[in-house]
Structure 1
Amino acid sequence: MTIKSKSKNNFDLCGNGKKGILMVHFGTVKMETRKKTLDSLNMNIAARFQEFQVREAYTSRMIIKKIYKKEEIRKNTPKEALRMMAQDGFTYVIVQASHVINGLEGEYLKGEVGYFKDEFQEIKMGEPLLTLPEDYIQIADVFKKEFENIEGAVVLVGHGTMHHSNSAYGMLQTVFNMREMENFYVGTIEGYPALDEVISQLKKNSVKKVTLVPF
């Protein structure tokens, strides 16, 4: 039994056993946001890969506690979800996180998945959104098309991290610039560039109108 970390979107598993996809999210305490984003993503995956049963886990213990306190809904951690999948007879499992970058959350997740390496015939992990160079190009093309008629600047706001993976945001900015998307700026909440750096660039370029986009 091995854990395999493959290229993005590798959902190929051999065998006729019980197959499952565990969608892993950082999580959010806002119910409406959850419905529009994480729940919607889960449903899209379930619709596309109908031969799999889709389950869900949150990595943020703080968010899990807040949701339970507010809504009395208990979200599972990855370990809890995988333990339940093993008990329910799953033999082939794919763990796919909705993380944007290869940060600390992803490293912790790999450790939790490794704990169950002997519980399934095969278990695989997908990669975060920004992993391969072509991922950045595809994302840039999506934003360029989505905001092609926008007036002013578009500021993408990522979470950010003190982990070295924060450099992914800088790479995305570089891709924007190379694809002549000069009105796109990438900032972060807890990393670099922070709000002050982004505002400084906006002022330097005499930007008067800004569209904020959660990223």
Structure 2
Amino acid sequence: MNIIKETRLGVKTYGKAIHPTKDAILVLSFGTTYEHTKKVTIDSIVQDIQHRYADTKVVLAFSSRIIVKRLRQKGINILSPEEALDQLQAEGYTRVVMVSLDIIPGIEYTYKMALLEAYKQAFTQITLSTPLLYWMGQSACRDDVKLFVEALESQFLSYSDKTAILLMAHGTNHPANAYYAVVQAKLDELTTRPVFIYSVEGWPELQDIIPKLVKLKITDIVLMPMMLVAGDHAHNDMAGEHEGSHLHLLKAAGFTVHTYMHGLGENAAIRKLFVENTVEAVKHGGEI
């Protein structure tokens, strides 16, 4: 095994396509039980990818076992990634491109890399795209963070320049949590309005941001999910009616608070970035 080759960054591909091929694209999301946000975010990305590759089979799988189980209890059959890959193999597909709908290369993306390793003998070729945020403009690499911030800015336009935008990220104990600091730096560089990232399960927390708001004498705030879907975290942690929600905590601190209940997947410019990642992954393995 060529260990140097195995550890290269970016799109990962195992194997070599042997023509003729039978091709499939597997879109991998953590998932959501909120049907409306699924339709306007995850399903919309799948449709955009299917439109780009009209003659290729495109399949969706959710990596959250809890979400898959809950959906099946409602009669909605969503495959897990392993089930989807097993099914594609059984149906005779020889080349698979896995598309990550992750925001950062954290724990979920590490799991997808493990999938690639586990199934590399099941197909003549299997490829994994990069997540939304990966490259930072180093050397000749594209700047995913800049592209993301530019796409995100369209969500700010309907608010006053004096209104602070608080972007709620998921957060993780994975080292990839550092991406949020990189995004914050790029926001500071490219935007003139006050925009701050905080996370539910990582750093920085909401309590780290409040002193900054006070120092800037900000009174008006918009809470906005920096997540693919506006699901459980958005409806409960961010905008819930309970006293511990971010909405109530900020109101109790004296701020006027508004909520933006739309996931990143509703942003057409963000969806375009996922499609471009798909195109890159497809080309990495050889055009479908």
Structure 2 length as normaliser, TM-score? 0.68
2:70 counterpart residue number: 66
- In the alignment, the residues of structure 2 paired with residue 36 and residue 5 of structure 1 have an alpha-carbon distance, to the nearest angstrom, of 34
Matching residue of 1:137: 146
2:215 corresponds in structure 1 to: 204
After TM superposition, give the deviation of residue 149 of structure 1 in Å. 4.7
Structure 1 segment 8-19 matched on structure 2, within 5 A: 15-19=19-23
Aligned counterparts of 1:26 and 1:3: Cα–Cα separation in 2: 26
Alignment partner, residue 173 of structure 2: 162
Q: 1:6 to 1:56 in 2, by over 3 A?
A: farther
1:147 counterpart (144, 156, 171): 156
Larger Rg: 2
| Aligned twin of 1:29 | 33
Report the Cα offset of residue 207 of structure 1: 1.5
User: Match of 2:189?
Assistant: 178
In the aligned structure 1, how far is the partner of 2:95 from the partner of 2:7? Answer: 12
Alignment of 1:82-101 (within 5 A): 82-101=85-104
Question: Offset of 1:209 from its aligned partner?
Answer: 1.5
Deviation of residue 148 (structure 1)?
Answer: 3.4
1:55 maps to what in 2? 59
> Does the C-alpha gap of structure 1 residues 3 and 74 become closer, same or farther in structure 2, counting only changes over 3 Å?
farther
Aligned AA (2:30)? F
In structure 2, relative to structure 1, the CA distance for the partners of 1:33 and 1:149 (3 Å cut) is closer
Matched, 1:102 2:113: no
Q: Does 1:44 align with 2:48?
A: yes
Structure 2 Cα separation of the partners of residues 97 and 14 of structure 1: 24
Stretches of structure 1 that go unaligned for 5 or more consecutive residues are none
Provide the aligned length of Structure 1 versus Structure 2: 210
| Cα distance per residue 1:126-178 (max 9 Å; x no partner) | 00000001000111112234423521111111111011110001100001112
The 8 Å contact of residues 23 and 98 in structure 1, kept in 2 or not, is answered as yes
The letter for the 2-side match of 1:177 is D
Q: Is the 8 A contact 1:5 1:126 kept in 2?
A: no
2:171 match: secondary structure? coil
Q: Which residue of 2 aligns with 1:76?
A: 79
Q: 1:23 to 1:190 in 2, by over 3 A?
A: same
Superposition RMSD in Å: 2.2
Residue of structure 1 in register with 2:127 after alignment: 124
Worse-superposed segment, 52-61 or 181-190: 181-190
Specify the SS of the correspondent of 2:217: coil
Whole-angstrom distance in 1 between the partners of 2:117 and 2:197:
33
**Could you tell me the TM-score, scaled by structure 1's length?**
0.90
- Aligned CA distance change for structure 1 residues 149 and 74 (closer, same or farther; 3 Å): closer
Using the alignment, how far apart are the partners of 1:200 and 1:179 within structure 2?
22
Paired residue type of 1:157:
M
Give the partner amino acid of 1:190.
E
> Quick one: distance in 2 between partners of 1:106 and 1:206?
39
CA distance in 2, matches of 1:48, 1:170: 33
Structure 2 runs not aligned, ≥5 long: 137-142, 227-288
